[in-house]
Structure 1
Amino acid sequence: MSAMDEGNKGQEAISDGVVFGHRVCQTKDAQWLCLDNMYQKFYRNNLYDIGGTYIEDVSDFWFLYRTETVGDIFLLHLLVSNRHETSFNISVSFGNEMNIDKKNGIVYLPKDLKELQFSKQKEMSQNYITTYSFTDLDVDALMDRKLYIAVSFSDIEDKGIKQEVIDHVKVNHDFSILMTDPICTDFVIESADGDKFRVHKVLLLAHSEVFKAMLKEDTAESQNNYVKLVDVCTDDLRGILEFVYTGTIKDIDAANFFNLLMLADQYNLKGLRELAQYTLSQQLCTDNALEVLVVADMYNSDILKQTTLKFIKKNVASLKSSTFKEIKNADLIRELCEYIVPKD
């Protein structure tokens, strides 16, 4: 199978709008950069070509990257060249945590984007975008897989609201005062332990599609302005509500993020799910690594799962945990063994 055929296979697996080689991808449609043979290229430091975007049939932007090794860290410097004088905004994956799609043989970086602005760039300017750093375990995971980096363009004169403005508004709209002084509440949530919390429907609706469906006019919960969550203890419910009202959980060490990851998945609380994954990755130790792995696998937290697998490979003492004997998922055990056993 040719390189282009392989690229097309990866493109179909992940999405449309893939920049790869000389395939025509319109600038406005660009969603992913496809980098192939990365395992070999990380060990052959050089400048490599990715491909470009077009306006109709005219070349618009062209992407390149340089690989570099510093000690045991592998660097990928991402660059873009504009084919004509222009100003533009470009957004790319923010962070280097890899998500592995074994079924389709691809690896992709986070879809959370970081925007950069380039003003009045001369024709054929080569612009530095960002640098991603990887460990040797990351590079091993790229063997026989393509790497996808999320990307998008926007006009610098775009009159829409900028992300930094949105972030500023979020920071300055902390509703924690409504938790301590719950005025104008219109709904009550009761925990499994019998503790009741007076809350505001509008905040529940804004953060969870599950709560949104629950609070439709024709549901019993909506008509009674009350629901009891029989599977959520008081501490966990308090954690959920704190996140809904403030966008975070202040006492990280006191919260049970194993439970909160499960509940974030159950109630479709995306932001809380991301916070739980990040916190659990930061709390990894030999005593809890296997438990984190099981939870990450159970709730399809691919980034957390890969982080945990890398931790276990570097800290094999984690396998001595009693949790190892309790894992009933044969596929997970097989995946763990394949990951930690050195390749030939």
Structure 2
Amino acid sequence: MDAYGALSRSQDEQIPQKPVHVSQVYRCQTSDASKLCVHEVLGKLKEDGLFDIGGTYADTEPEFWFFYTTSLCHGGNHLLNLFVSYKKTGTFSIDISNSNELTQKILPEDDVPHLILPETMTKYTFKSTKQNKNFFIKTFCFKNLEHFNQTSSLYIPVKITVNPKFELNVNVVKSIKLQHDLSGLLTKQEITDFVLESATRKKFPTHKILLAAHSPVLRNMLKNSELTSMFIDISDNDMELLLQFIYTGTIKDVMKQDCLKLLEIADKFQLVQLFTLAQHVIGDQITVNNAVEMAVIAKKYKLEDLQKKVFAYIAKNPKVLETKAWNDLDDVELTKCLFRYTRSMAE
């Protein structure tokens, strides 16, 4: 049964003719989307994880895909970090609920109650220069979840606009200020509550809740700790990159950065989205001379998408097998994987 067939119920129930909930069940058009449906959210908020929500379409073409990470922070706060991947290029905006206040409701056709967030929304505008680029939207912070039905799904009000017109209104101004203030927090020592020290003992004023929200490693180090500072044995530059990603969800001029260094940081602090970002950048920089090195990196960090891209490049560019890097490669398992891939492509 397709999405529209799944919605075929009696007209007395007054069910919409088109899906308006973004989930993995329905094929929702981008212009119709009004809510993100997060299934069994309370169970997922109790653990650290990465979960899909679902996508929207422009006619029959996939256009947006929403996903989220969860983490448990000190003070009994459950964090849901919301992201979106844009399949195309261009400008788009996401209007999303700006409140963390959960309300439980049950309708006659529901088997179990569901949770909803308020309809008051804030607009976030993004510009994508590459296909399948991921963007951080916002973090929701929930607490006292034991009062709700534990099998409930969460509905987050949303509106998606592709190529939005320029609007200088209150919501846009607030959005700009919020995004600016988030990255600007690093320079406002008077409102920080924690200090990270680099290998040179340089002090970096930060915010404990943001560190805990985006890095499981930092969260474990901070958990149940009453300290107001912490030493991390990394360089000043690496610390700046780490904090830049935590506070902004991206790396400025990422194409000019040492992506191997970004992967090291992502691995050290378990930053899932930094892995995704670095993997995408590296995938666009494969050459005959570095393809073998890229394959080794992909295996080391278990980057399956990058490994497939490297293998495909090598299969199309046999000159890679004439390089010194190939002759010096002593990883038998990696070599076997490459030849199995090449043979499957030939078949």
Match of 1:161, as an amino acid? I
Q: TM-score, normalization: structure 2? A: 0.52
- Deviation at residue 116 of structure 1 after TM alignment: 4.0
Does residue 303 of structure 2 align to residue 301 of structure 1? yes
Does residue 212 of structure 2 align to residue 214 of structure 1? no
Match of 1:60, as an amino acid? G
- CA 1:272 to 1:60, structure 2 compared with 1: closer, same or farther past 3 Å? same
Does residue 232 of structure 2 align to residue 223 of structure 1? no
- Deviation at residue 130 of structure 1 after TM alignment: 1.8
- Deviation at residue 184 of structure 1 after TM alignment: 1.9
CA-to-aligned-CA distance 1:212-270 (integer Å, 9 cap, x gap): 111112xxxx333222222x332222111101111111121332221222321331212
2:275 corresponds, among 273, 276, 293, to 273
- CA 1:224 to 1:162, structure 2 compared with 1: closer, same or farther past 3 Å? same
2:246 corresponds, among 244, 247, 255, to 244
1:180 corresponds, among 176, 182, 187, to 187
Match of 2:196, as an amino acid? I
Contact (CA 8 Å) 2:321, 2:327: kept in 1 or not?
no
Query: Paired residue for 2:286?
Result: 284
Does residue 345 of structure 2 align to residue 314 of structure 1? no
Give the unaligned 5+ runs of structure 2.
10-15, 26-50, 64-109, 111-115, 118-154, 161-171
Contact (CA 8 Å) 2:255, 2:281: kept in 1 or not?
no
Identity of aligned residues (%): 29
Contact (CA 8 Å) 1:208, 1:268: kept in 2 or not?
yes
Contact (CA 8 Å) 2:55, 2:62: kept in 1 or not?
no
Contact (CA 8 Å) 1:296, 1:302: kept in 2 or not?
yes
- Deviation at residue 207 of structure 1 after TM alignment: 0.7
Q: Distance in 2 between matches of 1:111 and 1:312?
A: 32
- CA 1:188 to 1:307, structure 2 compared with 1: closer, same or farther past 3 Å? same
Match of 1:293, as an amino acid? A
CA-to-aligned-CA distance 1:146-188 (integer Å, 9 cap, x gap): xxxxxxxxx9xx87324557xx998753422122333322222
Contact (CA 8 Å) 1:294, 1:327: kept in 2 or not?
no
- Deviation at residue 325 of structure 1 after TM alignment: 4.1
Give the unaligned 5+ runs of structure 1.
1-51, 62-81, 94-109, 118-127, 133-154
Give the secondary structure class of the aligned counterpart of 1:295: helix
- Deviation at residue 275 of structure 1 after TM alignment: 0.9
Contact (CA 8 Å) 1:188, 1:227: kept in 2 or not?
yes
CA-to-aligned-CA distance 1:118-139 (integer Å, 9 cap, x gap): xxxxxxxxxx43269xxxxxxx
